[in-house]
Each structure stands twice: as structure tokens, then as C-alpha cells.
Structure 1
């Protein structure tokens, strides 16, 4: 394959990811359709499947970008709160998570709505991105609970993430058990400040 052909294929792959990302951001993951994506990209529907096994694989690529942006926001919050006590750092990163979800709701939802499970073929880079987010949580937890066994710390990290995620999800969807966005920040702080 010539360098020109490789470059053209790489450009189409990147364009498909960008278009899928824009579509998901605008209308949600359920709006993503191969036919409309191909039309917008100016290619045949089959060309999508030369780059991706299916639309789920394309969504994982979009989610990889979303994970990186979310990770950057959380890392920024961690850096800004580095001199604060561990509970305050947990609160700061949880607020960063909330703000990201509120600003990019469809892309954020796609992180969790894509079809996959831990038993299925999940790309390693995807698991690494998730692990990176969990490490931000586990570090201050390890300071709060220095004698906690590593396995228990991992479980607590996942429980804390799930708790914050549930608060954010219910709040942003305006579910009956959720609260309006202005109170979500306070709710998260109330929960996390009681970790001991």
C-alpha cells in the first residue's frame, strides 16, 4: 500500500471518528447510524467497516477521546487541590466529573451506554483509561485508609465512583431521586466529607 493510500485511509478513519463524535454530542449515542455517517463523510457504508468492526467499535474510539478529556479535567482538579486534605481532593475531582458530565452530557453518557462488559473484548487502552480515572480516586483514599488491604481499597474506589456517578446521573436526568444541578455539587460534598 502506497504512502498516499495509507494517508487517505488514515484521514477517512479520523474523519469518521470526528463525525461520529459530533453526532453523538449533538443527538446522543442512539442517533449514530452508518448510512448517515457515510453520507456525511462522503464514502460508502462499507468503507466504515474497513476501519471499524461495527459502530460499537467506532463508539469506543469516540469514548477514548472523551475519556482523555474527562481525565484531563479530573487531573486539573487534582493538581489544583494537591495541597488540600484527601477528602477535599476527592470532592474537587468529583466536582470536575460533575461539570464535565453537565457540559458534555451525550458524550459522557456514551461512555456508559456503549455495549460491552468486562467479560467481552474490551480494548486494553479503554480499561487503562478507566483505570487512570480510578487511580485519582484511590490515591486520596489510601491516605485516608493507610492500613486498608489493596483489594478492599479497589472495591472502595469503585463504590465511591459508582456513588458519585449515580448522583450525577440521577441529577442530570432530573430523576425523582435527583436534585437540580445547583444542588448536586453540595450533595456530592456532603457525602464525600463524611468518609472516615
Structure 2
């Protein structure tokens, strides 16, 4: 007779599976991973994961929800540290936190956005992804209300997300100039910008495009 699982047992197994599955899904793709392979990598029998999850899609939804929640928590921490009076000068902090999360957790970031939407069938994933988007939406509503930016906060948010996501994915694919710490010092390469310089230019262009006109 199977052992009765305590809430602690369930949580420990699910967390162990999350760590294994995040790497597997990110490196091999959802279609390249099976429940049997996940069980083997976790060191348990092939049937054990079915005591905790219906199928592979439920595991993927759990992994993505956890990633969205960590992402949102990172942005929330930064956003809360910015006072209303400092909004005009500290708006880059959220952008920097966005990119820093992706570079710190590339597997998680790719799974957040590079998978077929699952939200409808998984309320936890829906709530986690909406948490992240609400944070960005509130950030731009605050900047528009303070007169720092002008326009529709939702539209500005989409433009901002599109730009940062493009930069982030190119950085993760090593398609951008290297970071300043790795930038070559030779005279022949001195004219090549660093990755940080590209990011700073994107932010300048984004903010300039949404600034209210000078009267």
C-alpha cells in the first residue's frame, strides 16, 4: 500500500521536480522530454511522478508559474524601493531588474515566454503571469500619472516589454557585443560598443519616445 503523503512530502518532491524539469524543458524543449526521463533524472521510479502530477504538461505549468513568480518578486522588490519623488530618475531600475533576472536565470526566462500558452488550463500559471504583467502595468501607470511619461500606460508597457525581451533574447543567444568586463581592449576593437552600452541606448530611446513634449 502506498505511503500516505504529507503536505511536506508533496512540497519537497514538487520542488525537486521543478529544478530537474526546468533544466530539461529549457535545454531539450517540451516535446523532447518524457515523464520517464524526468523520473530517471530525479532518481525515482517511472510511476512516482504520477502520484504528484497528472502529466508532463502539468509539470511544465508548475515550472513556468514558479519562474513568473520569481520574476515578479524581483521586479516588485525594485519597484517598491522607488519613491514617488524619485520616479523621474529611477525608472531604469525596473528595466535593469528585468534583464538581470533573465541573465541570472536563463532557463526560467526562456520557459516563461518561449512555450505555447498554457494559462487557460492552469490557474496557478495564469495568476503568476498576470502578477508579473500587473507589476509592469502599475509601474507605467505611476510614471504617466507623475507626468514622467505621456501616453497610454498599457501601450507603453507593451512597447517596453517588446524592446527589453528582444534585447534579452539576443543577449542570451550571445548575439550582442560582449559585456564590458569581457570587452576586448585592443585599439582595433575600441569602437565596438559593449552590451551595457547597447542596453543603455535602448532605454534612452524608449524613454525619449514616451516623454511628454516640452512646452
> What TM-score bracket applies, with the shorter chain setting the length?
0.7 to 0.9
Distance in 2, Cα, partners of 1:104 & 1:172: 10
1:53 equivalent in structure 2: 54
If the length of structure 1 is used for normalisation, what is the TM-score? 0.75
Q: What's the secondary structure of 1:5's corresponding residue? A: coil
Equivalent residue pairs, number: 186
> Would you tell me which structure has more helix in proportion to its own residues?
1
Tell me by how many angstroms 1:105 deviates: 1.0
1:128 equivalent in structure 2: 127
Q: What's the secondary structure of 1:53's corresponding residue? A: coil
Give a deviation string over 1:10-49, Cα, whole Å, max 9, x none: 1433432232235457x46456442232123333333323
- In the alignment, is residue 18 of structure 1 matched against residue 19 of structure 2? yes
Q: What's the secondary structure of 2:127's corresponding residue? A: helix
Structure 2 stretches lacking a partner, 5+ long: 146-151, 179-194
Q: Structure 2 matches for 1:31-110, cutoff 5 A?
A: 32-83=33-84, 85-86=86-87, 88-110=89-111
2:203 equivalent in structure 1: 189
If the length of structure 2 is used for normalisation, what is the TM-score? 0.69
Q: What's the secondary structure of 1:52's corresponding residue? A: coil
Instruction: Provide the alpha-carbon RMSD of the alignment.
Output: 3.1
Q: What's the secondary structure of 2:47's corresponding residue? A: helix
Structure 1 stretches lacking a partner, 5+ long: 147-151
CA contact (8 A) 2:79 2:139 kept: no
Over 3 Å counting, the alpha-carbon distance change for 1:88 and 1:61 in structure 2 is farther
Is the radius of gyration larger for structure 1 or structure 2?
2
Runs of 4+ in 1 over 6 A off after TM superposition: none
Distance in 2, Cα, partners of 1:97 & 1:16: 26
2:156 equivalent in structure 1: 156
Deviates more, 1:180-189 or 1:108-117: 180-189
2:188 equivalent in structure 1: none
